[in-house]
Amino acid sequence: MKKEIRGSGQYLIVGIDVAKEKHRAFFGTAHGKTLVKNLIFDNTIEGFEMIDAYVERVKVQYSLAKVVFCVEPTANYHKPLAEHLVKCGRMIVLVGGTAVKNNRQLLNGRWDKNDDKDSANVADLIAQGKCLFYEYPLMTLRNVRILNALKWRLKKREHGISACIRNHILAQYFPEMDKYYGPAETLTVVRECLDPSAIAGMEYDDFYRTATPGKMTLAKGRRMEAIWRAAINSIGCTMGEAASYETQVMVDSLKQIRQTIKFDGYPHDRSLWTFCITNIKK
């Protein structure tokens, strides 16, 4: 298609400037002839059906045999329209944002960024054969990509909350504990008894049972004892009720995100889920 469309008189080129609520379309040919410009249609099924019907009328009117749709990707706004066109058996391609920007200057040095003209700019790139194949993978592969992207967004959020606990909460109220932060029991200390004055007023055994009710290990015992001793001469600020509540919310959020990253309780078919996780790990 990229080779034969250049100078071809058979193609109806539909350039679409995608937006959130309304799209703008330009109809033209590879010879540079304008057929319809600034056709506005809604981002709804009625709007999609309207553009389909309009394309058929223009094809008949100008005796054009083939149609190619082109969009410039804008966030995710283009995906419903693109999927509709794919399901209808239409040829759809993409143009890159950089190509659109550079071609705008080549068309006219005074051509500024304008929605009325962007769809014509997109169509001009198609007439030159400068486009990309629109990928529409199988649902299984789409699941893998979605879950992988979700995992990395959650990891980013996890890192942000963890950094906030260290740099905002510990730095104010118990800075000596920062070097011990990380293992699961230290999160329990942060949530249950972060106030150094409260820790200093407790016996070590009481502090250990409060902070780490689980099985005792040698490494865990050493960390807890070091934290308990550091609390006695801590330089941390005095904690109030609001600070304690903020700490609990932050720790609970962090734990929930970490649980979600493990994908526990995924509600759908386990065989599909196993396949997705296997491919993500690969």
pLDDT for the residue 111 = 52
Mean of all residue pLDDT scores within the chain: 85
Containing 153, the helix (H) or strand (E) segment is helix 139-164
Confidence of residue 58 (pLDDT cuts 50, 70, 90): very high
Has this prediction a pTM greater than 0.75? no
Structural contact between residues 63 and 5, judged by C-beta atoms closer than 8 angstroms: no
Residue 15 has pLDDT above 60, yes or no: yes
Structural contact between residues 50 and 36, judged by C-beta atoms closer than 8 angstroms: no
C-alpha distances (whole Å) from 175 to each of 114, 169, 187, 192 are: 54, 9, 14, 16
Residue 153 has pLDDT above 90, yes or no: yes
Q: What is the pLDDT of residues 226-249, one digit of tens each?
A: 998 999 889 989 988 999 999 999
What homologous superfamily is domain 11-133 in, according to CATH?
ATPase, nucleotide binding domain (3.30.420.40)
pLDDT for the residue 34 = 87
pLDDT for the residue 113 = 57
Q: Does domain 139-281 have CATH number 3.40.50.12780?
A: no
> CATH 1.10.287.4070 region(s) of the chain?
139-281
Q: Of 68, 56, 53, 51, whose CA–CA distance to 12 is shortest?
A: 68
Q: What is the pLDDT of residues 17-56, one digit of tens each?
A: 888 899 999 998 988 888 998 899 999 999 999 999 999 9
> CATH 3.30.420.40 region(s) of the chain?
11-133
Question: Which residues touch 1 (CB under 8 Å, ≥6 apart)?
Answer: 68, 91, 93
